[in-house]
Amino acid sequence: MGTELAALKKSADIQRMFKEFGIKPIEEIADLFPNKTLIDIGLLIAHRDFDHLLRGLAQGKKFAIVSGRGPSGPLHLGHILLFSLVKHLQDIFNAEVFIPISDDEKFIFGKVPKLEDAEKWAYDNIRYIAALGFDPNKTHIYISSKTTWVYRYALKCARKMTISMIKSALGTTDSHNPGILFYAAVQIAHILQPTFDYNLPVVVPIGLDQDVFMRLARDVAQLLHVMKPASLYVQFLPGPRGEPMSSSKPETALFVNADSKQAWRIIANLFTGGQGSIREQFLKGGNPDVCHVFLWLKHLFFKNKGEIEVYAEMCRSGELICGLDCKPLLHELVMDFLARLRDAAEKVNIEKFLRDSH
Amino acid sequence: MGTELAALKKSADIQRMFKEFGIKPIEEIADLFPNKTLIDIGLLIAHRDFDHLLRGLAQGKKFAIVSGRGPSGPLHLGHILLFSLVKHLQDIFNAEVFIPISDDEKFIFGKVPKLEDAEKWAYDNIRYIAALGFDPNKTHIYISSKTTWVYRYALKCARKMTISMIKSALGTTDSHNPGILFYAAVQIAHILQPTFDYNLPVVVPIGLDQDVFMRLARDVAQLLHVMKPASLYVQFLPGPRGEPMSSSKPETALFVNADSKQAWRIIANLFTGGQGSIREQFLKGGNPDVCHVFLWLKHLFFKNKGEIEVYAEMCRSGELICGLDCKPLLHELVMDFLARLRDAAEKVNIEKFLRDSH
């Protein structure tokens, strides 16, 4: 785990959040994973109740992963990393995967002028997600506003909620539109659908800063007398400023349709653990623990702890120079990955994934 | 027109409402109706912009009538009267009729425990509505939560609204559920759908006390740059206490599935214009202008002004005794009408009406 992340997890705020909301470090349940790669590379930080799902699995009880996407533009590598994680979890735990594509969310929050614009992006995004290799027999992708059941389940959830409850959780005010409030119920409907329709317990991979949605979903689940969804807290891929990549801030994100130059502009501006000069770095070595180029390599491309350690050691020993070795390597790996992904996205048959899209 | 109604229309409140909100007495546009029966019997009280629709019609531009029903129990005669009016308007103006069956409304307002309960009533109610003789080629009935387009159009409307706007119109508070707020957008979606999908101007028959919904719908229509819906204000059928029949107060309503005894209990308790004793009534005559039994006969059964006047004159002259003549006559007519209606409801093919129900 990087020192930054360690610092984050040690911070008083996070400690309090963990304690108050029943979140636990992922290391506590590392033994329940068939291998510890996801934990070793620092992609999974923490969880709530995921141990219950893994213990159920050991007794033959399947579970579902719900991980959505609001379609207002192309996917970026942060999304790809998240969905790759979901695919990996599907593989190792034989999990059913549910992927709501929330065109309704993007429209109601004003991120696209028309609902149809979000729909157009939905199909683009679905192609890229499906291209990551999900098992079509265990993966359910749907466009939220194009089903009949999302609205019906959202009504069911909404009836157990109050306007105050949403306002205090999300900070909505009376000058917002009423669809924004209702969307809180829609999102909970997405999360609870595998439980409603297939009687499966659910886990949602999410950022720690988004946990308020999970707590709301758990409150509603309890009021509806169904299983509360578990969560897996994920480390997001940092963009050039160190903050998570965001579609609405294109300067922070490396999109799947980026050309070589655009990709280089993002990668060249990532934080590194390098020294002030090449000479100094040869002499003193770099610090991979605070380096975002190293973090990207680890999360996106390295396959095991050994490979990671070897690379980190080369950095520390001064063998690697950020701008001459690591960034060009990352750029090459990214461009190669994207070329293959775009090719797969073009060829994938998305119909097989759209079973619940009605 | 009954004196009560005249009094209502003269009241300062109503006058102010008319002036402030552009509502006009129906008599002002009586000449635009092919016959004046609906106006003569006092069923139509007032309108907003309906003259625009009638003038458009004269130039070959069709219009749509939207009139919904929240399905939480059997229909009562008040609903039947309203839908009969809509059917009559369809006949005389060749109008397209849209009938949203709002299972979502009844569920989200807590009138039924489960959404599926409202759905069960929806099919029952649709049978009775269809049995009134609507033209299946010009009538669109749908169950709100079972379409995909209601939620999508509601999002479109919601994005033009604010939570404050709905709160101040409808008195919603933060302790309500968020679905109640969103339902304001759903209802506007119902009203504007004929305009969105068929480019038709819309008129909604409604009670004066419900006008706030129309004003909200008109504000949203303006923000969406589509035609504002017109309205026709309808006199509701009074129950035993003089207030409009209400499904949630069964003692006020004569339901379509009432047996003879239940129907008599409602009819026997209607207000009349009778005297203190039979003897006195023989001598002085009754007052049909304040009599709800007479109002029911007029609105539900009498066919023209002549028939109404003859009956009223018989009452005034003391020939009719409320409990001996008018109430038994009304009871007989109602039971006969309901027997035929139930028979028709059993036989009707509702599929022909459910074209927009997807």
For the stretch B21-47, pLDDT in tens is 899 999 999 999 988 888 888 899 999
What gap in Å lies between CA B85 and CA B300, rounded to an integer? Answer: 10
Question: Cα–Cα distance between A319 and A89 in angstroms, integer?
Answer: 35
CB atoms within 10 A of CB B248: 9
- Which of A253, A237, A234 shows the shortest CA–CA distance to A297? A237
Express each pLDDT in A92-111 by its tens digit: 999 999 999 999 999 999 99
CA distance A303 to A35: 12
Q: Is the pLDDT of residue A2 over 60?
A: no
Do the chains contact at A158 and B184, CB–CB below 8 Å? no
pLDDT digits (tens, 9 = 90+) for B330-357: 999 999 999 999 999 999 999 999 977 7
Q: What are the pLDDT digits (tens) for A187-208?
A: 999 999 999 999 999 999 999 9
What does residue B105 show for φ and ψ, rounded to 5 degrees? -60, -50
Question: Using the beta-carbon criterion (under 8 Å), do A145 and B148 form an inter-chain contact?
Answer: yes
User: Taking Cα atoms as reference points, which of B243, B289, B244, B233 lies closest to residue B2?
Assistant: B289
Binary contact (A162, B184; C-beta < 8 A): no
pLDDT at residue A121 is higher than 60:
yes
State whether residue A239 is helix, strand or coil: coil
Would you place residue A171 in the very low, low, confident or very high pLDDT band (cuts 50, 70, 90)? very high
Residue B13 has pLDDT above 90, yes or no: no
A150 contact B CB<8A: yes
Q: Among B115, B155, B161, select the one facing A155 at the smallest CB separation.
A: B115
pLDDT given for residue A1 in this prediction: 40
A129 lies within 8 A of chain B by CB: no
Tell me which fold the domain B3-241 belongs to: Rossmann fold (3.40.50)
Determine contact, residues A331/A324, Cβ cutoff 8 Å. Answer: no
Q: Which residues of B touch A172 (CB under 8 A)?
A: 163
d(CA B185, CA B340): 38
Q: Does A148 touch chain B if contact means CB atoms closer than 8 Å?
A: yes
Contacts of B182 in chain A (CB under 8 A): 158, 178-179, 181-182
Which one of A156, A179, A185 has the shortest CB-CB distance to B159?
A179
Closest by Cα among B296, B193, B287 to B244: B296
Which DSSP symbol is given to B276?
S
Using CB atoms within 10 Å of the CB of residue A15, give its burial: 0 to 12 exposed, 13 to 18 middle, 19+ buried: exposed
For A8-17, B31-40, B96-105, which range has the lowest pLDDT when averaged over its residues?
A: A8-17
Which residues on neighbouring strands pair with residue B167, listed in sequence order? none
Q: How far apart are CA A300 and CA A304, in angstroms?
A: 11
Contact B242, B63 (CB under 8 A): no
Q: Does residue A285 sit in helix, strand or coil?
A: coil
Q: How far apart are CA A167 and CA A179, in angstroms?
A: 13
Any residues with CB less than 8 A from the CB of B63 and at least 6 apart, and which?
B53, B56, B57, B93, B95, B96, B200, B201, B202, B203
Domain over B250-345 is classified CATH 1.10.240.10: yes
Q: So where are chain A's domains?
A: 3-241, 250-345
What ipTM score was computed for the predicted complex, to two decimals? 0.91
Task: Please classify residue B197 by burial: count the beta carbons closer than 10 Å to its beta carbon, then call 0-12 exposed, 13-18 middle and 19+ buried.
Answer: middle
pLDDT at B5: 55
Q: Compute the mean pLDDT over every residue in chain A, rounded to the nearest whole number.
A: 93
Residue type, B295: L
Average pLDDT over residues B1-16: 61
Query: Are residues A108 and B155, on separate chains, in Cβ contact within 8 Å?
Result: yes
